[in-house]
A and B are shown apart, each in its own frame.
Chain A
Amino acid sequence: MTELIKVPKGEELGDGAMLAVSALGRHIIVYRVGGSYFATDRRCTHQSADLMRGYFDQNVIECPVHQGRFNVCTGAALSAPASTPLRTYSVKIIDGVMFVEV
């Protein structure tokens, strides 16, 4: 069963910005790339570092500790030492309010 996590003020996220949300025991980051929103797990798949402290440029989030890189749109691991993809979530805007589907 899927559930929707409401992201207050998520729709105000500026282009190239990211926002962390925690609910249902999950830690998630919502990103805005161009006019679209994407969401991934917040924990790096390499050694669990906090990606919220990482470097976000265009559609790539980079781990702050080892510089493993992920495509936030697909979750794909782009460069070593990251080799396992990030889990992604779909982001929905319903009546002007942002939700992450988990």
Chain B
Amino acid sequence: MNAKSASPMSSADSSSEFLDDPFEAWYAPTIERDVLRGLMRRTDRHALVNLGLWLVLCAATGAGVVLVRHTPWLWPAMLLYGGVLCFAYAASHECAHGTAFRSRWLNEAVFWFTSLVFIEEPLYRRYSHAGHHTHTWFNRLDPQKPYGNPLRLGRYLSSTSGLVFYYDAAAQLFRHSLGRFTAQEVEFLPVGEVRKVVFNSRVMSACYVGLLVGGIAFEWPFILFFIPRFLGGCIVNLYINTQHMCMAEDLPDHRRTTRSIRGGRLERLLYWNMNYHIEHHLFPAVPFHALPRLNAEIGSQLPAPIAGVIAANIEIVKAISRQRADPLFNLSRVN
């Protein structure tokens, strides 16, 4: 055996010596390695509190639906309850990253439950979302980029209303249950995982069919799941719109392709701090509860956040109007 001396590297400067990291091309703000390592620390406590409060809100607004079910207040009550329920999206997203809980079994259990509520098969979502982080807002490469510039008002309205959501979700679950995947899907889904996605899709499809059949006999699945899920989807979609809509495309720079917004306490609770969306894309290993602290560290290097969800959607609608004359216009605030 031969003995050769290695070039030792401290953790502080190690990345500079790793010359062929494919993600080095992306914009990265300056942050101390030890600070970042501290921000990445996982806990169970933060997510348990967030999850618990969300469940309490679901129970309270759901009880409201039950109480007013024979009055004209039923529809507003279902909208309110559905709005809260659909933020299962945010919990599911954090669990897809595996950063919500330190305990893996908790992370995966909550991932399954919230994915069932949001109607998206979890393993497929984990892979497609990984693709989204690899190719954020690159046309034809980002598997979670459903629209691009120039955006049309009809597309904005259909995305916001979720009108096509049930059809798309049902069609995808049905396809995956039959083992059929599109060319783009097989690009990011390893062959060895396809069987698991097919199995999961069948389990989920059976759950929804069971709920639908139950809904024919009893009204509860409709007034406590399907209709609120549809109505409330509009609210969470307004938040999802703010993430990348009308931002620059095809650039390895999250400051230009992604948008952060300000949010009140309740919004940040329901949305699991995803209003810090640029920060999340820059450092996806930082859990949701540390994103405000991450913002405090690197916020001065990023564009200022938009005032809120309404302001961001107004900005988007104005951009759609402007894109009719200038298809290349986008809302990036970094040159």
Contacts and interface: CB of A to CB of B under 8 A. Distances in A.
Interface in A4-49: 4-10, 17-24, 27-28, 42, 46-49
Contact of B127 (A24, A55, A81, A100): A81
B8 A21 contact: yes
Contact of A6 (B3, B10, B37, B192): B3
B326 interface: no
A8 B3 CA distance: 12
Contact of A3 (B4, B18, B102, B127): B4
Contact of B284 (A2, A10, A23, A66): A66
B183 interface: no
Contact of B7 (A21, A49, A66): A21
A53 B126 contact: no
Contacts of A81: 126-127, 130, 188
B22 interface: yes
Interface in B91-105: 97-99, 102, 104
Contacts of A47: 22, 134
B190 interface: yes
A5 B1 CA distance: 10
Interface in A65-94: 65-69, 78-81, 83
B134 A52 contact: no
A48 B333 CA distance: 31
Contacts of B182: none
A80 B21 contact: no
A2 to B, nearest CB: 6
Contact of B102 (A24, A57, A99): A57
A80 B193 contact: yes
Interface residues on B, range: 35 or more
Given A9-B8, A64-B285, A65-B133, A52 B99 contact: no
B85 to A, nearest CB: 26
Contacts of A18: 11
B192 A83 contact: yes
B7 A22 contact: yes
A35 B98 CA distance: 27
A6 B4 contact: yes
B219 interface: no
B11 A5 contact: no
Contacts of B2: 1, 3-4
Contacts of A46: 130
B8 A19 contact: yes
B5 A6 contact: yes
B123 interface: yes
B9 interface: yes
Contact of B1 (A4, A22, A49, A50): A4
B15 interface: yes
Given A20-B9, A22-B6, 18 more contacts: A1-B2, A2-B1, A5-B3, A8-B6, A22-B7, A22-B9, A23-B7, A55-B285, A64-B283, A64-B285, A66-B134, A67-B130, A78-B104, A79-B98, A80-B130, A80-B193, A83-B192, A100-B6
4 closest A-B pairs by beta carbon, nearest first, are A23-B6, A21-B6, A81-B130, A66-B130
Interface of A: 1-10, 17-24, 27-28, 42, 46-50, 52-55, 57, 62-69, 78-81, 83, 99-101
20 contacts: A3-B1, A4-B1, A4-B2, A5-B6, A9-B8, A21-B7, A24-B4, A28-B6, A50-B18, A66-B130, A66-B133, A66-B134, A67-B284, A67-B285, A69-B98, A79-B104, A80-B123, A80-B126, A80-B127, A99-B3
